[in-house]
Amino acid sequence: MFKELLAKEGITCLLRNEQLSTALGEIPFTECYPELWVVDAETWPRAKMLLDGWLKVADPEAVDWTCSGCGETSAGNFTSCWSCGRDHDGEMLSNQGGRSSDST
């Protein structure tokens, strides 16, 4: 999953130890963990920043919000409306399959 996310950002990675789970019991389990290696050391800081952002835990104190498009209430951890797909900032997301707020 992370390899594909970084690839979309133009960062080349390798997935190491991908098949070692079959060797569990024969070698220590800590040697079987999959590892994501960034190929170019110069892109490592950017890759780390992106991964940290994707792994960031949602704020447990986030408050519920009301969509400006359809009026539905969404939980604070949602960044877009669950009903119409409108972004929390009020912009309509282009790839959402939800109904448009101006349809009747």
Q: Residue 82 in 3-state DSSP? A: coil
Residue 72 lies in domain:
58-93
Q: How many domains does the chain have?
A: 2
pTM, 2 dp: 0.44
Provide CB contacts within 8 A for 11, sequence distance 6+. 38, 40, 43, 46, 47, 50
Please state whether beta strands 65-66 and 35-38 pair in parallel, antiparallel, or not at all (unpaired): unpaired
Mind listing the pLDDT tens digit for each residue in 17-47? 777 666 667 777 677 777 888 988 898 899 8
- Cβ neighbours, 10 Å, residue 69: 20
Q: Which of 102 and 15 is assigned the larger pLDDT?
A: 15
Asked if the structure places residue 101 within a domain, the reply is no
Asked if the structure places residue 48 within a domain, the reply is yes
- 48 and 69, same domain (yes or no): no
Mind listing the pLDDT tens digit for each residue in 67-78? 888 999 888 778
- 8 and 51, same domain (yes or no): yes
Do you know the residue count of the chain? 104
- 69 and 36, same domain (yes or no): no
- 69 and 86, same domain (yes or no): yes
Query: Is 13 in contact with 47 (CB distance < 8 Å)?
Result: yes
- 6 and 50, same domain (yes or no): yes
